[in-house]
Amino acid sequence: MFFKKLIVSFLARKTKKAVDAWSKKSIKNQDKIFKKLIATLAKTKYGKDIGAHKEMCLVDFQKKSPINSYEDLSPYIKKISRGEKNVLWRGRPAYFAKTSGTTSGVKFIPLTIEMLKNQINSSKEALLLYAFYQNKFDAINGKMMFIQGSPVLKKHGQIKTGRLSGIVANHVPFFLQPNRLPSFETNSIENWDKKIEGIINETVDCDLRLIGGIPPWVIMYFQNILKKTHKENANIVFPNLSLYVHGGVNFKPYKNTLKSMVPNADFLELYPASEGFFAYQDDINDDGLLLLTNHGVFYEFIESDNFLQGVFQRITLKDVVLGKNYVLIISTCSGLWSYNIGDTVMFVNLNPYKIIITGRIKHYISAFGEHVISKEVETALDMCLMKFGGEVFSFTVCPNINPENGLPHHDWFIEFIKKPANFSSFCEYLDTSLRKQNIYYNDLVKNNIIRPLVVNCVKVGSFNNYMKSIGKLGGQNKCPLLSNDRKIGDFLSNYLI
């Protein structure tokens, strides 16, 4: 045990030194990655189709390689699935990372061995930096659990396919295998309810020290294990549980709930995706995520407002400024070129480069011309929870264009774990907070074009029922926060309290 702790301590110090070095030369890192990517691009089917050459400069690349969606690259991905080589990257990718996303159907994202190594190393860096700064090296002496997708891989054409988390689960180092939970058999269960039951049975008596997964599913796990053990919080069940690793959704609305469930744990945010690993929290006392500038990804950015107006001017890291929303465009060592992953980010520090995730470019409400974005609704809700208390399991917002009574408005559907005591004041402050952030929404309410938002409380389990109805319960799936139609809202209307 002491020997393991000594190794972790050594690796943590080594990682800290390496991260300090590369984070100080991010612009040079990006230049090197761009040149390396372009040298490979010129030898691929996609590169030849756009007229790429190995000496191509950034301006030429931006002219020749337009912004690509998954649908734009899908003809090339079909070629890869048939076994063709050198289509988007040299050779063939080792895997397809299967993802349903939040705005489209099933996607098969190429995943090369080079990118897989970057994915694994990025997670390792984040955990070792945490260990260094917090002087905590004991997690390796206990159990570590990640609530994730199935590790069972299938094939899409000739390429092995699975969820990213499931693929990574097949590459856990041998010396960590004894520490890993859940077991391969339990992790392979497809039915989410049965999987949670199996995980609880495997973990209830173990020495759990680290847990990872997106907040709603981790909350569900804790709720079930506390029900089974009749304990007040998870630290009574797991006295040594000291770290929760999360990502994929804004954590603030869930923070109070998870803090009450596991009061002695630190929270560490990561920013991985099937397309690449982009950032992580290098300091748990700083909400900014350190942008990974030498991990196989070349970044470009488009101002969100411009993007929505059809102006696709792309800038690189050296030209970003603080406080602006950017659409994230990536080119990677898995062969994604000028690819719009759909996320929006904002820089909160330029030395080193740190970002926060502000939402999805397709997730906004503009039914009345207000263009409310994810960051605005998340911030408004977080401010209300801080002021009035309460705990939220999940929420979503959609427009009500033709209400039975009164003016059109925004419908908020919230599943509370703990409802605020002064609910009417909570609702008023929620609308006020949103109006302060979005001048267009404020003008619409002020001029009686729409009325203030309406909060609809739904029964416990409502969001899980919705996700189950669309076949996306569990894993890394998450419910969209914003939509311009009533599909989710109409479903949840059947579960009003």
- pLDDT band at residue 492, thresholds of 50, 70 and 90? very high
User: What average pLDDT does this structure show over 201-206?
Assistant: 93
Identify which has the larger pLDDT, 315 or 163.
315
pLDDT of residue 292: 98
Token pair for 235: 């630290």
Q: What is the per-residue burial (b if ≥16 Cβ within 10 Å, else e) of 323-340?
A: eebbbbbbbbbbbbbbbb
Most confidently modeled range among 104-108, 181-185, 188-192: 181-185
- pLDDT band at residue 161, thresholds of 50, 70 and 90? very high
Rounded percentage of the chain residues whose pLDDT exceeds 70: 98
Q: What is the sign, positive or negative, of the torsion defined by CA atoms of 58, 61, 67, 70? A: negative
- pLDDT band at residue 103, thresholds of 50, 70 and 90? very low
**What's the number of CA atoms in the CB half-sphere (13 Å) around residue 472?**
18
Q: Is the pLDDT of residue 327 over 70?
A: yes
C-alpha to C-alpha distance for 267 and 284, rounded to whole angstroms: 7
Over the stretch 402-431, which tens digit does the pLDDT of each residue have?
898 899 999 999 999 999 989 999 999 999
User: What average pLDDT does this structure show over 287-316?
Assistant: 94
Q: Is the pLDDT of residue 290 over 60?
A: yes
Q: Is the pLDDT of residue 102 over 50?
A: no
pLDDT of residue 415: 96
- 88-97, 215-224, 238-247, 405-414: which has the minimum mean pLDDT? 215-224
Over the stretch 52-71, which tens digit does the pLDDT of each residue have?
998 999 999 999 999 999 99
User: What average pLDDT does this structure show over 103-118?
Assistant: 87
Task: Answer whether the bond into residue 239 is a cis peptide, omega within 30°.
Answer: no
C-alpha to C-alpha distance for 273 and 247, rounded to whole angstroms: 9
User: What average pLDDT does this structure show over 1-19?
Assistant: 86
Q: Counting Cβ atoms within 10 Å, is residue 362 exposed (0-12), middle (13-18) or buried (19+)?
A: middle
Model-level pTM? Answer: 0.82
Q: Is the pLDDT of residue 154 over 70?
A: yes
C-alpha to C-alpha distance for 392 and 247, rounded to whole angstroms: 17
Task: Answer whether the bond into residue 403 is a cis peptide, omega within 30°.
Answer: no
C-alpha to C-alpha distance for 337 and 136, rounded to whole angstroms: 39
pLDDT of residue 37: 98
pLDDT of residue 475: 64
Among 292, 125, 265, smallest CA distance to 209 is for 265
Can you name the residues that pair with 215 across neighbouring β-strands?
none
